[in-house]
């Protein structure tokens, strides 16, 4: 597989669409479309920048989940608190801001922050980090944008076990919930 050309075909505020032209294993051209958060003028920039983070937050042996309306699926899904890292913002500053904006909670302690991972590697070069944190305070979602419908709540491992069977989840949230359940119910 050899990339021979990259062309931006659409540019919006948050997403940039690119067509990548490859020579496949048989030596034939294949055009592949991707989306990115970043402007790129050179293929060497593909997959090189971290654009966001997801937060696995706990308080008193309960896990924080957001139930939010996601336009791309026209439905409500369970998700992690997450967001875009703003220019010049540290990871810790982003964690604090996103927690406050989406839940009203405060960061108490960061356990770990994983290295960047690709969010949807089949269609995008977008990568983000996952932070495991402890939070304090009470949930207050009055700070959310008019463009977001978010209901935040804490759930026990028993509640999450039931929800995992019937609820709609983002994949990263589903994995985090599964691991939380394994840790707390084993």
Read off the pLDDT of residues 81-119 as tens digits, 9 standing for 90 and up. Answer: 999 999 899 999 999 999 999 999 999 999 999 999 998
Q: What is the rounded average pLDDT of the residues 130-153?
A: 88
Architecture of domain 50-185: Alpha-Beta Complex (3.90)
H or E stretch at 112:
strand 106-113
Instruction: Give the Cα separation of 18 and 5 in Å (integer).
Output: 10
Over residues 116-134, the mean pLDDT reads: 93
Please work out, in degrees rounded to the nearest 5, the angle formed at the alpha carbon of residue 177 by the alpha carbons of 172 and 178: 100
**pLDDT at residue 171 tops 90:** yes
pLDDT for position 95 = 97
For the entire predicted model, the pTM comes to 0.89
pLDDT at 46 over 80: yes
Residues of the chain with CATH 3.90.79.10: 50-185
Q: What are the residue ranges of helices labelled H in the chain?
A: 91-103, 157-166, 171-185
Percent of the chain scoring above 70 in pLDDT: 99
Q: Are 81 and 94 in contact (CB under 8 A)?
A: no
Q: pLDDT exceeding 90 applies to what percent of the chain?
A: 80
- Judged against a pLDDT cut of 90, whether residue 80 lies above it is answered with yes
How much is the average pLDDT of 38-62? 92
User: Per-residue pLDDT for 144 more than 70?
Assistant: no
Section 139-164 average pLDDT: 89
Q: What is the mean pLDDT of residues 24-29?
A: 95
């Amino acid at each position: 597989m050899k990339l021979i050309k990259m062309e931006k075909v659409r540019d919006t505020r948050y997403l940039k669409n690119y067509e990548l032209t490859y020579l496949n294993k048989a030596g034939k051209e294949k055009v592949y479309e991707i989306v990115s958060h970043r402007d790129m003028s050179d293929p060497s920039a593909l997959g090189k920048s971290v654009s966001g983070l997801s937060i696995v937050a706990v308080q008193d042996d309960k896990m924080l989940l957001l139930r939010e309306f996601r336009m791309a699926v026209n439905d409500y899904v369970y998700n992690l608190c997450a967001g875009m890292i703003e220019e010049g913002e540290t990871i810790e500053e982003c964690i604090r801001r996103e927690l406050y904006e989406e839940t009203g909670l405060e960061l108490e302690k960061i356990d770990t922050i994983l290295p960047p991972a690709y969010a949807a590697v089949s269609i995008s070069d977008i990568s983000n980090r996952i932070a495991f944190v402890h939070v304090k305070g009470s949930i207050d979602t009055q700070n959310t944008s008019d463009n977001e419908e978010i209901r935040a709540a804490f759930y026990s491992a028993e509640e999450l076990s039931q929800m995992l069977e019937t609820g709609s989840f983002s994949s990263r949230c589903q994995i985090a919930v599964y691991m939380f359940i394994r840790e707390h119910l084993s």
